A and B are shown apart, each in its own frame.
Chain A
Amino acid sequence: MKRKYKYFFLGFLALAAIIIWREVWTAGQGTLKFWALDIGQGDALFIETSSHNQILIDSGPSGKQVLRELGDVMPFYDKSIDLAILTHPHLDHVGGFPDVLGSYRVGAFAGSGDPDTLAEYQETQKILEQKNIPFRTLRRGQKIILDKNVWLEILYPERLQESKNVHRNMVIAMLYAGEKKFLLMGDAERVEEVFLIEHDGARLASDVLKAGHHGSKTSSFAPFLARVKPQYAVISAGRDNKYGHPHEETLSNLQRISAAILRTDLDGRIKIETDGREIFVSRER
């Protein structure tokens, strides 16, 4: 009996050693991984930098789906996320956060700070307060350093606007990873796209575009796409969603600039990996 325990203990130590050394060896020399999670109709993007800094941008419509996806893309022993960002308080973006905040240790939470009465958003704010998770207000011009040569630049909003449409206070960000750029539009629409064209112009050129508003025709209009000219366009939408996302017009706009279209409703979870020079895409059903 005694001898058995010894082996258990040895096995446990070996497992711990493997996990710890794996972390140490792979830190800082790997690639940046970007996932568009398959969470149904909504948005949830997960970024892991080469030193395993993890950022979750939006959480999809409900906790179960995003927890399942995070369970798949993160190692089993990893129950922490360094930064969570909410682009705007709509159910299909904030719905999973109450459960994510309950299951993962989240280092900090960031968003536009738009006040809204949506119950899921209120619950999220309540949990942030209970757990003492710091909240950071995002405004144009801010840079969030994620890793060596990797940062997020906030392009929008410049300031909070009073509007009935929550989309007017969208958080739009550009992810820089070495030479590669990911433009993350959230649910931004034409108004925001015009703003970006006026203020950023040629700087909008990107390798990956997370197309605005699930590929709806309110977004991704031709002059904007002409500036961004992405190699890949990611559309996060639910299978057979009732809104008809993505719209035909948006798809043909994207085809016209010859972007490769990646859709979560058809391809499932999408993984984009980059070492800062090249991009590798895989579809994980």
Chain B
Amino acid sequence: MAQNLIAIFLSGFFGGVFVSSFWRVGFEGAGLFLALGVALALFWKFYGAETRIFLPLGVFLVAASIGTFRYAQYDSRAELAPLLEKEGMRIALEGEIISDPEKGERFTRAVFYAEGTNILLTLPHYPEYLYGTHLSLSGVIKRPENFAKDESSFDWPAYLAKDNIYFEIFLPEVRSAEPGGSFFIKRWLFTLKHKYLENLSRVLPHPESALAAGITVGERNSLGNELEEVFRQAGLIHIVVLSGYNLTLVANAVGSVLLAFAVPRAVSVGAASLSILLFAVLAGGSGAVMRAALMGILVYFARQYGKIYEAKRALIAAAFVMTFINPKVIRFEASFQLSFLATLSLLVFLPKIEKYFSGLPKTLGIKENFLATLSTQTFVTPLLLMQSGAVSLLSLAANVLVLIATPLAMFLGFFAGLAGFVSNPLATIIAWPLHLLLAYQIYLAEFFANIDIGRLPVSGVGNSTALFLYALIAILVIALPVYREKKI
């Protein structure tokens, strides 16, 4: 009973958040849900057995009201009012840069906090302003707009909205800049990351250095638009973004090296999890990265100890916490949706299909890569279809071939970057085999991106089709016989 109630509570909470992200329910709605929920619970309390159905309903509604309330609170735009009045006008502002500025092809983008709201600044590459720089500037304040008019294209305002950014200033005039503000640990971490990235670029040529930066600390913007598009078309973009799966690979690599040296299992699992955290910290510790790290650790634990059931619950709990912190991730953050689905697939789908592929060779991790790719792709494809409208049939092959090299490339990339702090010659020596692996991955990405046959341009995959596909997948997962779960 208690377990069921928890499940009902969680669905109520997620439901509330989900509905709120489509329609403006607001505090009024939250109040209504709460009143109804409490009333139903009281009914159950006084009339007992005959009204048993009212308890779960009441719990559901109360949970929904919490979700709705949290969303409304997160979304409350009261603080936007003063700036909304000045929309389109040139105004003077004072505030701090609160993100690690992203250097794009032509401009640098940074999140600026002033007057109680976040503003996206588009700046020239130089002078460089780092995280924590206090700026006094003037510029024309605008609300973000979509560049292209057609529906299917990327929704820029919604993308910014999930980070609570509702304003933009393009090329502001900076009057004075004072570095050294905001949270000192983050400032220190970003400095460390920049040094690490420079270490990589000192020993690897472009674009291999950019790929190394992508797979080790999820630094995507150094790749450049052209190469990013190549990876996207080959269905490989996720390897450039630090994902939970990437991190599981690192943990596996660290864990198996330690086990080979006869280190006790508990210690090696601990060290492997620590290595995941280390990667996440180096990657700047942003929300997306911490989510990836958490899910990476979950999957690693589950696969090490065979505790799939516990890991599933932990995954749901993690999703609850993440959604509570930022309720917009459910609808607006593709990285959250993708990593949640991918992690879920590794926990519920992979164990069930494993036995059908027992004939695959284990060398070079072919079997493991194949299974992981097949299950994550199955879970993620409908969502990708809905979001991008195109999917590569060959991406399964591309993924298996590229992922073979990923663990070693991540491992070497990480050590090359760290070695650069100590000795450049050492980093250079590590970089040679690393270069070979990265060049292989880039070659494959370009190869698969250039094949047209495997690409299905799917238009009109709407929400309903995606929901239908997910229903099919759910049935498949439930219908497949339970494979004996390994106990340690």
Contact = CB atoms under 8 A, between A and B. Distances in A.
Contact of A64 (B198, B224, B432): B224
A62 B104 CA distance: 10
A123 B128 contact: yes
B205 A64 contact: no
B345 interface: no
Given A62-B105, A62-B125, A79-B203, A12 B433 contact: yes
A119 B127 contact: yes
A122 B205 contact: no
Nearest to A104: B202
A123 B207 contact: no
A104 B209 CA distance: 12
B128 A79 contact: no
B81 to A, nearest CB: 35
A123 B126 contact: yes
Contacts of A119: 124, 126-127
B198 A77 contact: no
A77 B428 CA distance: 8
Interface in B398-437: 428, 431-433, 435
Contacts of B433: 12
A263 to B, nearest CB: 20
Interface residues of B, number: 26
Contacts of B202: 79, 102-105
B208 A95 contact: no
B206 interface: yes
A119 B202 CA distance: 23
A123 B128 CA distance: 9
Contact of B205 (A1, A15, A79): A79
Interface stretch (A66-74, A190-198, A206-214, A250-258): A66-74
A166 B205 CA distance: 32
B206 A70 contact: yes
Contacts of A77: 428, 431-432, 435
A70 B202 CA distance: 13
Interface string B114-158: 000000000011111000000000000000000000000000000
Contact of B224 (A16, A68, A102, A120): A68
B150 to A, nearest CB: 23
A204 B198 CA distance: 42
Interface in B211-255: 222, 224
B201 interface: yes
A98 B194 CA distance: 14
Contacts of B127: 119, 122-123
Contacts of B439: 76
Given A62-B105, A102-B198, A122-B127, A68 B432 contact: no
A64 B126 contact: no
A71 B432 contact: no
Contacts of B428: 77, 79
A285 to B, nearest CB: 13
Interface residues of A, number: 26
B106 interface: yes
Contact of A62 (B106, B203, B207, B208): B106
- Most chain-B CB neighbours within 10 Å: which of A1, A74, A98, A103? A103
Contacts of B204: 76
A9 to B, nearest CB: 11
Interface string A98-127: 110011110000000000000110110000
Contacts of B203: 79
Interface in B61-108: 105-106
Contacts of B209: 103
B105 A71 contact: no
A32 B126 CA distance: 35
Contacts of A76: 204-205, 208, 435, 439
A49 to B, nearest CB: 20
A120 B123 CA distance: 13
A98 B203 CA distance: 17
A27 to B, nearest CB: 20
A79 B431 CA distance: 12
A71 B207 contact: yes
A77 B39 CA distance: 73
A62 B108 CA distance: 12
Interface in B36-62: none
Interface in A152-171: none
B125 A103 contact: no
A107 to B, nearest CB: 15
B126 A74 contact: no
B222 A70 contact: no
A104 B205 CA distance: 9
A64 to B, nearest CB: 5
A102 B201 contact: yes
Nearest to A94: B126
Given A71-B207, A79-B203, A15 B432 contact: yes
B126 A122 contact: yes
Nearest to A68: B206
A104 B204 CA distance: 10
26 contacts: A62-B105, A62-B125, A64-B105, A64-B206, A64-B222, A68-B224, A70-B206, A71-B205, A71-B206, A71-B207, A76-B204, A76-B435, A77-B432, A77-B435, A79-B428, A98-B125, A99-B201, A103-B198, A103-B206, A103-B209, A104-B202, A105-B202, A119-B124, A120-B125, A123-B126, A123-B128
Given A64-B105, A76-B204, 6 more contacts: A15-B432, A62-B125, A77-B432, A79-B428, A95-B125, A122-B126
Interface of A: 1, 12, 15-16, 62-64, 67-68, 70-71, 74, 76-77, 79, 95, 98-99, 102-105, 119-120, 122-123
- Pick the 7 closest A-B CB pairs, nearest first: A71-B205, A71-B206, A119-B126, A67-B206, A103-B201, A119-B127, A123-B126
